[in-house]
């Protein structure tokens, strides 16, 4: 929390302007664990991971390997919707990555979607709205 002195009152007490840290993302993320398949750019073999949270603008993944900031990868996220197994595909760019100490999984990486078809975006949006609202 950031506090700035706005002014002093008549008794010499400081009046503070308080700004609370707010979400910087344009789209909120929803905590949700979904099975995900990912394809690192330039590789033909996929790997498995899962989401930690997801939103219309990106996803936080739990992975068995460390990804590099700026790296792009294709992902397929699987979910149930109206009793059907669905999926959406996207290409994301790693915006940050970290090692999860004391975890058998190993790493977390945040991806910002850089390529998401309109059809897949609408599927994702419809799914998130149904579970969030």
Distance CA 132, CA 2 (A): 30
Domain-wise residue ranges, the chain: 28-132
Tens of pLDDT, residues 67-118: 999 999 999 999 998 899 999 999 999 999 998 877 666 899 999 999 999 9
Radius of gyration of the chain (CA): 20
Are β-strands 58-63 and 35-40 bridged in parallel, bridged antiparallel, or unpaired?
A: unpaired
* 28-132 CATH fold: Thrombin, subunit H (2.40.10)
pTM for the whole structure:
0.77
Element (H, E) at 65: none
DSSP string computed for 17-57: EEE------SS--EE---EEEEEETT-SS-EEEEEEEE-SS
């Amino acid at each position: 929390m950031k506090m700035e002195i706005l002014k002093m009152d008549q008794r010499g007490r400081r009046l503070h302007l308080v700004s609370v840290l707010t979400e910087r993302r344009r789209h909120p993320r929803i905590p949700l664990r979904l099975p995900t398949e990912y394809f690192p750019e330039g590789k033909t073999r996929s790997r498995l991971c899962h989401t930690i949270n997801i939103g219309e603008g990106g996803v936080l993944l739990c992975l068995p390997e460390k990804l590099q900031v700026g790296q792009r990868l294709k992902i397929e996220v699987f979910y149930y919707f109206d009793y059907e197994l669905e999926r959406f595909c996207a290409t994301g760019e790693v915006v940050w990555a970290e090692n999860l100490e004391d975890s058998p999984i190993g790493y977390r990486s945040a991806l910002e979607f850089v390529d998401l078809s309109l059809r897949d975006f609408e599927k994702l949006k419809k799914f998130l709205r149904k579970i969030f609202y």
